Structure 1
Amino acid sequence: MFDLKEILSVSLILFSVIDILGSIPIIVNLRQKVGHIQSEKATLAAGILMILFLFAGKSILGLFGIGVEDFAIAGALIIFAIGAEMILGVELFKSDPEAKDGASIVPIAFPLIAGAGTLTTILTLKAEFDQINIAIGILLNLILVYIVLKSTGWLERKIGKTGLDVLRRIFGIILLSIAVKIFKTNAFPIGVDSGI
């Protein structure tokens, strides 16, 4: 049932988990490497993943014999690799000159936008909110994601090379921390719950 309060709650929860504003340095960094990011393709791919997980998440993972925790750990490893790349200045995600739009899907659509945290959050939200309200919350977040992706060129010019370099390292450390937290929570759920 359509509920404005539920839509607002879902939207705010997803906004904090997706953290598209915090991903700006990563997106700019990828844009510098590959030359161009297809905002429409990245937003659409992330949207499809999120809606798929809303309606059939556990079933899709179950087909492959994968648990939600396994999926989250895989996402955490990718996030860790991106964070390490940003801090150390190494290139782990090699850009293919023949497929420059590839960066729009990996790692932008997954795991930055529709990452393990976002997808597992969507599965969790289903226990508390109506699917229609979650779907609208996803749509509102995708509109914001699209606007941010489209504005990266302008943001890059405003922040400048030095500012981006500093931001890239700061957000690299934050990404490593998020990756470690996701890994710990899903690899050692009992230890985390009991405070070990």
Structure 2
Amino acid sequence: MDFSLSQFSNTFLYVYSSLITVINPIGGGLFFLSMTMSATREIRGKLAARIAVYCFFMTVVSLWIGSFILSFFGISLGVLRVGGGLVLFGAGWAMLNAPTAEDAPVDPAKKISTSELMAKAFYPLTLPLTIGPGAISVATAIGTSTEINLTNILAVNLAALATTLTIFVCFKYSDRITARLGATGSDAIQRIFSFILLCLGVQILWTGVSDLVTKLVVSLPH
């Protein structure tokens, strides 16, 4: 098979820009920061690396066999959105009602363990916070509409890798914001983005419910 540099560039830019837009790693980094305020910089870096690895595999799987997996289990995108919306809503509600840094009891002997945070690397930090229903549906749509050849395979996989590297950088260095804002500013950021996360959950949930209701109405006999 021939390799086309022009086709490679076009496919790479198309896939990368589409994934970056829907994933929004900068905004995701702020969500990540608000959920890992008590973690050390070392733990946050390890967690960001693991999330990036999970994101890469989830993106590649969604790109190439996403539609097959959903159809195999009989899961529609509407159901996927409903489930993802409920999870995001729950995470946002818990974060919104969490105690502030000033109200929370301080125990110098107690530090968050690496295992506790690493257990959250896949759920909910990767799915659905970073790679949510929107990203999965976009990746699945790209995969089903992409011609299978050597150039496109390389371009799509490298675009997925570039996307996850961007996620890693945004997540790993998100703690620099905390150093500049201080405790009060960090708490404010946490509340703001917790509320946005809650609203995103409602929006995704509403989109999924709307899809399911529309399909139900269409399927009813007239």
Question: Which residues of structure 1 form unaligned runs of 5+?
Answer: 91-95
Residue in structure 1 matching 2:205, options 172, 183, 190:
183
> What one-letter code is carried by the residue in structure 1 that aligns with 2:64?
F
Residue in structure 2 matching 1:79, options 70, 82, 88:
88
Deviation of 1:51 (Å): 0.8
Which secondary structure state, in structure 2, belongs to the residue aligned with residue 21 of structure 1?
A: helix
Deviation of 1:173 (Å): 2.4
Query: Which residue does the alignment assign to 1:12?
Result: 17
8 Å CA contact retained: 1:25, 1:171: yes
1:150 counterpart = 2:206 = no
Query: Which residue does the alignment assign to 1:93?
Result: none
Query: Which residue does the alignment assign to 1:167?
Result: 189
> What one-letter code is carried by the residue in structure 2 that aligns with 1:42?
I
Residue in structure 2 matching 1:105, options 122, 130, 139:
122
Distance 2:198 2:133 in 1: 14
Give TM-score, length-normalised by structure 2. 0.73
1:19-66 superposed Cα distances (whole Å, 9 cap, x missing partner): 121123321232235553422211111111111111111222233222
Are the structure 2 counterparts of residues 14 and 42 from structure 1 closer, same or farther at C-alpha, using a change threshold of 3 Å? same
Deviation of 1:172 (Å): 2.0
1:57 counterpart = 2:66 = yes
> What one-letter code is carried by the residue in structure 2 that aligns with 1:124?
A
1:124-161 superposed Cα distances (whole Å, 9 cap, x missing partner): 22354455333332211111111122213333212322
Give TM-score, length-normalised by structure 1. 0.82
1:32 counterpart = 2:37 = yes
Distance 1:145 1:32 in 2: 18
Distance 1:134 1:190 in 2: 31
Moved more, 181-190 or 99-108: 181-190
Distance 2:192 2:35 in 1: 16
Identical aligned pairs, as a percentage?
Answer: 21
Are the structure 2 counterparts of residues 190 and 152 from structure 1 closer, same or farther at C-alpha, using a change threshold of 3 Å? closer
> What one-letter code is carried by the residue in structure 2 that aligns with 1:6?
T
Distance 1:177 1:98 in 2: 29
Which secondary structure state, in structure 2, belongs to the residue aligned with residue 188 of structure 1?
A: helix
1:121 counterpart = 2:138 = yes
Deviation of 1:82 (Å): 1.7
8 Å CA contact retained: 1:125, 1:134: no
> What one-letter code is carried by the residue in structure 1 that aligns with 2:168?
Y
Deviation of 1:119 (Å): 0.7
Are the structure 2 counterparts of residues 33 and 74 from structure 1 closer, same or farther at C-alpha, using a change threshold of 3 Å? farther
